[in-house]
């Protein structure tokens, strides 16, 4: 089970942008992984290395990162055992030598880290989720509640909606398979309602497969979701979640303002769209009063610790306040947020920190603090479904992977259905326990 060589190549992701595929070669076969890529990336994320050579892919190629895998990482990992995840991840971190993995590229490192885990699981003859649960020392194997992003705004869509994601959270489903069915049914009801109210061309979709109708206010989007949930008969069974991705419309220099009309650059830009932190906080409190909200993600900018703490103190006992750009899956930032009670939940993205070992460390910190932990895809994705196994192995109980459509999103949901089937079979055969997180996905 030792590594013979590691190879990478440039492939395209769901947005048609270059990304990396990594192959780990051993004497027992080849194991691969594909790397996702964000659009609304946090400034504190590990560094995604791009070429800057304008003659190829507008300068966004990843050939430098590919070369780093082939010429720098491969030789130092040669001969190491694939089941020594921590040693391999540490070795790459050491070789990189920077704080944000900018020398080798976090995209190069994370691809290797994921492919190595896949190799180890396969050679041991166990599913990847089981191997990850062993690495994390987690005995609570759980199927997650899926959070389906069915209305896209922010940086992911060409409408004026300031908030980036509006999600359906079918917490009241009895199992994962049913949760997926509920989500898909509401998705189709939503399409009909949007068509009826805004016309057929409003049913085009954004980067994560959610509809991107020409709305400008979060209230319009939330009303559509409530109507679609009720129309499908899932009132009380499906909640709604919002990822504001507020760093995208935060201007820390300009008197800490949040511009809810930030995508409108024309003269019709609304002067009423500017909010200070306090005003935006009252908007969230109003939304929580009016709609069945499960969580707010990134309600404020990535370095606005103060307003995050305020919203957590005010409504964090009722719902999850999730830090994505704020925390960047970075153990140092997570520790600070735990100490200062800045948020009460973590968004977990493996490419945001760059290795599986550090991702597991981040998830453990969240768990020990009694936080929620939502495992997440990126807006630029591939058909790799690594995160499906990750969420089951860590047992965090919640995942977001976009809308229940478009294959790069469904790859994860379909893989979760397979895992559920496999676990049910094992349960019938030998009583092995597992559960669907369901209503317990996060309780305060």
- For ligand 2PG, the binding residues (CB under 6 A) are 38-41, 164-165, 208, 243, 245, 324, 376, 378-379
User: Could you say which of 23, 208, 408, 420 is catalytic?
Assistant: 208
- Going by the annotation, the residues of the binding site for substrate are 156, 165, 297, 324, 376-379, 400
Q: What is the DSSP letter of 268?
A: T
Is 208 annotated in the active site?
yes
DSSP letter assigned to residue 211: B
Q: What is the nearest approach in angstroms of Mg ion to the Cβ of residue 319?
A: 16
Residues contributing to the site for Mg ion (CB under 5 A): 243, 324
Q: How far is the CB of 337 from ligand 2PG (least distance, A)?
A: 16
Decide: helix, strand or coil at residue 24.
strand
Closest approach of Cβ 400 to Mg ion, in Å?
A: 9
Give the whole-angstrom CA distance, residue 44 versus residue 85: 24
Nearest residue to ligand 2PG, by Cβ distance, number only: 38
- Neighbouring residues of 33: CB distance < 8 A, sequence distance ≥ 6: 21, 22, 111, 112, 114, 115, 118, 384, 386
DSSP 62-73: -HHHHHIIIIII
Q: How far apart, in whole angstroms, are the C-alpha atoms of residue 372 and residue 367?
A: 7
Q: Which of Mg ion, ligand 2PG, none sits in contact with 379, Cβ below 5 to 8 A by type? A: ligand 2PG
Residue 41 interface partner, choices ligand 2PG, Mg ion, none, CB cut-off 5-8 Å depending on type? ligand 2PG
Which tokens sit at 56?
Answer: 């190829």
247 interacts with, out of Mg ion, ligand 2PG, none, CB within 5 to 8 A per kind:
none
Compute the radius of gyration of the chain from its Cα atoms.
21
User: What gap in Å lies between CA 93 and CA 215, rounded to an integer?
Assistant: 44
Active site annotation includes 349: yes
Strand order in the sheet with 29-34: 3-12, 18-26, 29-34
Q: How far is the CB of 380 from ligand 2PG (least distance, A)?
A: 7
Catalytic site residue from 101, 239, 263, 349: 349
Residue 304 CB partners (closer than 8 Å, separation 6+)? 246, 250, 252, 256, 277, 326
Q: Which is nearer to ligand 2PG, 31 or 442 (CB)?
A: 442
Minimum Å distance from CB 349 to Mg ion?
Answer: 8
Q: Which of residues 73 and 246 has its CB atom nearest to Mg ion in the complex?
A: 246
- CA 329 and chain centroid, separation: 10
**Please, which residue, 123 or 363, has the CB nearer to ligand 2PG?**
363
Interacting residues of 257 by C-beta distance below 8 A, sequence separation 6+ = 250, 251, 274, 275, 276
Q: Which two tokens stand for residue 235?
A: 């009132």
Question: Of 237, 206, 176, whose CA–CA distance to 403 is shortest?
Answer: 206
Binding residues for Mg(2+): 243, 297, 324
Closest residue to Mg ion using C-beta atoms? 324
Nearer to ligand 2PG, 116 or 167 (CB): 167
- Nearer of residues 403 and 419 to Mg ion, judged by Cβ: 403
Binding residues: 156, 165, 243, 297, 324, 376-379, 400
39 binds, among Mg ion, ligand 2PG, none (CB under 5 to 8 A by kind): ligand 2PG
Catalytic residues: 208, 349
């Amino acid at each position: 089970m030792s590594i013979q060589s590691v190879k990478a190549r440039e492939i395209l992701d769901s947005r048609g942008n270059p990304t990396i595929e990594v192959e780990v070669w051993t004497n027992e076969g080849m194991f691969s992984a594909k790397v996702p890529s964000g659009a609304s990336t946090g400034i504190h994320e590990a560094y995604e290395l791009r070429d800057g050579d304008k003659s190829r892919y507008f300068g966004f190629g990843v050939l430098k990162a590919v070369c780093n895998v082939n010429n720098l990482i491969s030789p130092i990992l040669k001969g190491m055992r694939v089941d020594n995840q921590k040693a391999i991840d540490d070795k790459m971190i050491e070789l990189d030598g920077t704080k944000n993995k900018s020398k080798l590229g976090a995209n190069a490192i994370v691809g290797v880290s994921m492919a190595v885990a896949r190799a180890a699981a396969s050679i041991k003859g166990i599913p990847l989720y089981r191997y990850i649960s062993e690495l994390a020392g987690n005995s609570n194997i759980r199927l997650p509640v899926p959070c389906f992003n069915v209305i896209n705004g922010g940086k992911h869509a060409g409408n004026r909606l300031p908030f980036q994601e509006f999600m359906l959270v079918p917490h009241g489903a009895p199992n994962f398979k049913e949760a997926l069915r509920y989500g898909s049914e509401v998705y189709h009801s939503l399409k009909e309602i949007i068509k009826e109210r805004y016309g057929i061309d409003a049913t085009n979709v954004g980067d994560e497969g959610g509809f991107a109708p020409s709305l400008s206010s979060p209230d319009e989007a939330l009303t559509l979701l409530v109507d679609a949930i009720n129309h499908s008969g899932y009132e009380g069974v499906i909640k709604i979640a919002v990822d504001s991705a507020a760093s995208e419309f935060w201007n820390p220099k300009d008197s800490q303002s949040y511009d809810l009309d930030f995508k409108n650059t024309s003269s019709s830009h609304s002067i009423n769209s500017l909010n200070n932190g306090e005003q935006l906080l009252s908007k969230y409190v109003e939304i929580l009063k009016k709609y069945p909200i499960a969580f707010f993600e990134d309600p404020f900018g990535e370095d606005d610790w103060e307003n995050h703490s305020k919203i957590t103190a005010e409504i964090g006992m009722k719902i999850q306040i999730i830090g994505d750009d704020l925390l960047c899956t970075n153990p140092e930032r997570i520790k600070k947020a735990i100490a200062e009670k800045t948020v009460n939940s973590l968004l977990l993205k493996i490419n945001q920190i760059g290795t599986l070992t550090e991702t597991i460390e981040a998830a453990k910190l969240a768990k020990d603090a009694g936080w929620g932990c939502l495992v997440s895809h990126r807006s630029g994705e591939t058909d790799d479904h690594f995160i499906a196994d990750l969420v089951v192995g860590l047992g965090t109980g919640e995942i977001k992977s976009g809308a229940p459509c478009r294959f790069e999103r469904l790859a994860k949901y379909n893989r979760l259905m397979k895992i559920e089937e496999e676990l049910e079979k094992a349960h019938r055969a030998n009583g092995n326990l597992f559960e669907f997180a369901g209503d317990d996905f996060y309780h305060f």
